[in-house]
Amino acid sequence: MVKAGASGAGGGAGGGASGKEEIAAWSMTQAAAGLARGEVTSRQLTEIMLERIAASDNNAYITVNPQALAEADAADARRRAGKARSGADGIPVALKDNICVRGLPTTCASRMLANFTPPYSAAVAERLAEAGTVLLGKLNMDEFAMGSTSEHSYFGPVKNPRNPARVAGGSSGGAAAAVAEDLAYLALGTDTGGSVRQPAAFCGAVGLKPTYGRISRFGVVAFASSLDQVGPITKTVADCAWALSLLAGGDPRDSSSLPHPPADYIAGLRGVAGLADAGGSGYGGGGGNGGGRGSDGDGGRDTYGNGTVFGAGQGGRPRIGVPREYMGEGIQAEVRRAVSDLAAKMAAAGAAVEECSLPRAEYALSAYYVISSAEACSNLGRYDGVKYGYRANNYDSLEDMIRRSRSEGFGDEVKRRILLGTYTLSAGYFDAYYKRAQQARTLIMEDFRQAFQRYDALLIPTSPVTAWRRGADFADPSAVYAMDLCTVSVNVAGLPAISLPWGTDGDGLPIGAQLIGAPLSEALLLRIAHGAEELGAAVNSRRPNAGIGTGPAVGAARDAGAGSAASPASGSASSTGAGSAADAAGDAGAGRSEGGRLDG
């Protein structure tokens, strides 16, 4: 559903349909280089995106920003005057519809907030605006971020652009679908139990969940406050690194935000070379945060595969652990093979890769659903039809009005979580469920702490399966909840993690591989992920690093144009323009469907 300003785009950008397709397939970094060199304007980029949104039938957007073209024109004017706010000035982006933007509807894909327009903007929306980005609109999702398919939306389900008969994942399915279908260069989602990483995996995009507190949650509608975290979905790891640089940092309006200043996450990207040298970025080689690695509790050195030791872990080479608990029963065979293939290729590139163990991993799923449902029950108590949100039309008393408003305003999945949370917090059950879940959380965090004394990152699947069919009838909702097996432990422990595409299954559906880092180790995590991404050029339908290069080149593209008129990007960043975009666009088209007209 698109409610406002769905079209309004003019023609002429990109020199015809073929040129527009190539430009739409650009990464965020490539778009920035094109803007900096004057090869394209922000208005042209925005028009292309708006045209594609209007033509898509995958239901990724709930609301399109009617001021998008005006914002693009303002960005172009700043560049002409040599006053660009940043390298990202003029790049079209989109936000999940639980992120508030002043004056633009924020519905959380729920009837309860279908007509709610916030009087303020979220911190992440403010930071993107300060960087000069153009807001295309608000993205579809599972209602109040509760779900794994983006089918639980008052505005209809999101379709997976790689196969519209399959789910897009959730709850940030609209964000992942928008990036995968070239309907935005950057999309922000929220990740409570995998809701950025899992849909990114299902749609063949890159999704980053930062350390809890790394990005402010101010202005983000809460699901489970101790688990929620905003994260970017992009086409490349470099774009995720850039987005994190724009968004990270403390915020006095969010008491859970961390005061640690953000790093230049792009500068450390080295491509495959980053897999042969951790660069002294912390947990590897006994330097930086955390010092050397200790025992992982397994009583000695592990092997991975059929007794094969993939790496020696000497010098500054990053050391990757592959927890056996996430590579066995319940993992689709093609997914397991893909992650094993990535582990082997990372070892061949110089990383030390070995099997390890997270012995309390089995408790993560149960702990997550108890904690998240309890916090959701509390957070959603405010929606009573009195102050704001949906109010029933017919009722007999105040109590009846509240009951009817909540019954009519919330969907089935939200009601299910509220009931579960109410039960676990009730007298007589609090100690048996909620308290024990928090105790399990502590043990899970300790498992990770011990693992990161020895490893720089952990490698597991993002999802135990690839995208399943839309409308699949799961008689037991817990069967769907079990699909979060590989992602929830990261949120329970507050860790950073990134999902990147690694091949496809027999049906051509993307497979996601997930790298998990220690708290605040995003720079090292992104470096390792960037190397893995380059290794995947041969197995992924979209070649993510085509014409982009490593940290210095990406940094040049990012910085070009900030504070100056359209000036060329320096160094190898010049390869990120239209010439290399043709190659990237050709690969990006594989497996993609043609959308019909979306009625607004």
Q: Which residues are catalytic?
A: 96, 171, 195
Closest CA to 180 of 202, 205, 206, 217: 205
DSSP letters for 525-565: HHHHHHHHHHHGGGTSSS-TTTTT-SHHHHHHHHHTTTTSS
- Alpha-carbon distance of 181 to 171, in angstroms, equals 17
Give 395-401 contacts, CB < 8 A, sequence gap 24+: none
Per DSSP, the three-state class of 208 is: strand
Per DSSP, the three-state class of 102 is: coil
Which residue type, as a one-letter code, is found at position 368? Y
What's 592's DSSP letter? P
Q: Biggest alpha carbon distance in the chain? A: 73
131, 246 contact by CB (below 8 A):
yes
Strand partners, 322: 355
Closest CA to 409 of 393, 427, 390: 390
Neighbours of 140 (CB within 10 A): 33
For residue 12, what are the contacts with CB-CB under 8 A and spacing of at least 6? 44
* Axis-axis angle for helices 68-80, 42-55 (nearest 10): 160
